[in-house]
Amino acid sequence: MVAARLAIMFVSGDLARIDTVRPMRATVSGLWVYTGPFGTGAHMKCMANLLLAVHAVTDGEALARWSGLDLEFVPGTLEGCSADSANWKQRGPRMADRAWSPAPGPVRTLHPILEQIEGCAVKADPAAGVFASGQLAFAKALAGGWGDLDIACVYDQVSGVSALSPGEAS
């Protein structure tokens, strides 16, 4: 579940038909992007969610490995450089504060999308590399009972702490 008008909707298919659901699109999504022939919207959604998942895991790992840095200092330092990302801006503060609830993007919502990505026929091996690491992190989070927590909770997984524990990350 995504808060109304905060999601980007990827729309594909016949433009005349797409226009008939304009009022619904406006309620759900402030921004929508036409991606082309039918099916390309689903592919774009898979691509965007793959990036979201791996960014969350890499942001968590970076934060865990260099946890001695002043976390008020890090975001401003990264701003504008090639290491900056929207995900870091949104999830970095949650990771630093271990603020998993309320979850704007719960693990239970992302996990099935990652299964869809794995099932998609793509040119590259979908089980290889970074995707496999990201998918494993979210599968462990879901199995650990973290489904209702924000995806930023993978920081605790990387840190070796339970996201369900009130204690500080190591």
The 3-state DSSP class for residue 9 equals strand
Residue in the block written with tokens 């992007």: 33
Pick from 166, 110, 164: which is nearest to 139 by CA? 110
Residue type, 50: L
Q: What pTM, to 2 d.p., does this model score?
A: 0.79
Q: What is the pLDDT along the chain (170 residues), one digit of tens a residue?
A: 455 556 788 889 998 888 888 777 777 767 888 999 999 998 898 888 889 999 999 888 888 877 777 767 777 788 888 888 888 888 888 888 889 998 888 999 998 888 888 877 555 665 567 888 888 899 999 999 999 999 999 988 888 888 887 654 43
H helices of the chain, in order, are 15-19, 22-28, 40-65, 73-78, 86-97, 107-119, 129-143, 154-159
Burial (0-12, 13-18, 19+ Cβ within 10 Å), 167: exposed
